[in-house]
Amino acid sequence: MPLTPVPDLIAAARPGGLGAFNVIALEHAEAIAAAAEAAKRPVVLQLSENTVRYHGSLAPLALACLRIAADSAAPIAVHLDHATSFELVTAAVELGIRSVMYDASALGYADNVAATAEVARWCRDRGVFVEAELGEVGGKDGAHAPGVRTDPDEAVEFVVATGVDALAVAVGSAHAMHARTAELDLELIARLAAKVPVPLVLHGSSGVPDAGLRAAVEHGMTKVNIATRLNVLMTEAVRAVVTGDADLSDPRKYLAPGRAAVRAEVERFLHLFADQPCHTHRHGPPR
> How buried is residue 140: exposed, middle or buried, by Cβ count under 10 Å (0-12/13-18/19+)?
middle
Query: Does residue 238 have a pLDDT over 50?
Result: yes
Q: Can you tell me the distance from the alpha carbon of 214 to that of 13, in angstroms, rounded to the nearest whole number?
A: 13
Dihedral over Cα of 160, 197, 172, 221: its sign: negative
Beta strands in 5-106, from DSSP E residues, in sequence order: 18-22, 43-48, 76-83, 99-102
* pLDDT tens, position by position, 72-128: 999 999 999 999 999 999 999 999 999 999 999 888 889 999 999 999 999 999 999
* pLDDT tens, position by position, 262-279: 999 999 999 999 986 665
Q: Can you tell me the distance from the alpha carbon of 65 to that of 4, in angstroms, rounded to the nearest whole number?
A: 13
Q: List the one residue out of 1, 2, 7 whose CA is nearest residue 223.
A: 7
Report the run of H or E that residue 168 belongs to, with start and end.
Answer: strand 166-168
Q: List the one residue out of 258, 218, 193 whose CA is nearest residue 29.
A: 258
How would residue 46 be classed by pLDDT, with cut points 50, 70 and 90?
very high
Mean pLDDT taken over the chain: 89
> How buried is residue 161: exposed, middle or buried, by Cβ count under 10 Å (0-12/13-18/19+)?
middle
Residue 137 identity (one-letter amino acid): V
Q: Can you tell me the distance from the alpha carbon of 195 to that of 174, in angstroms, rounded to the nearest whole number?
A: 23
> How buried is residue 141: exposed, middle or buried, by Cβ count under 10 Å (0-12/13-18/19+)?
exposed
Examine the residue annotation and report whether 81 is marked as an active-site residue of this protein: yes
How would residue 134 be classed by pLDDT, with cut points 50, 70 and 90?
confident
Per the model's pLDDT, the better-predicted residue between 143 and 158 turns out to be 158
Per the model's pLDDT, the better-predicted residue between 92 and 136 turns out to be 92
- From residue 274, alpha-carbon distances to 55, 164, 225, 229, 264 in Å are 33, 26, 15, 19, 16
Using an 8 Å Cβ cutoff, are 100 and 80 in contact? Answer: yes
Domain locations along the chain: 6-228
List 81, 103, 165, 185, catalytic entry: 81
* 119-144: average pLDDT: 78
6-228: CATH topology is TIM Barrel (3.20.20)
Q: Can you tell me the distance from the alpha carbon of 62 to that of 59, in angstroms, rounded to the nearest whole number?
A: 5
Dihedral over Cα of 74, 225, 251, 282: its sign: negative
Q: What per-residue confidence (pLDDT) applies to 154?
A: 94
Question: 249: which residues sit within 8 A by CB, 6+ positions away?
Answer: none
Phi, psi of 233 (to 5 degrees): -70, -35
* 175-191: average pLDDT: 75
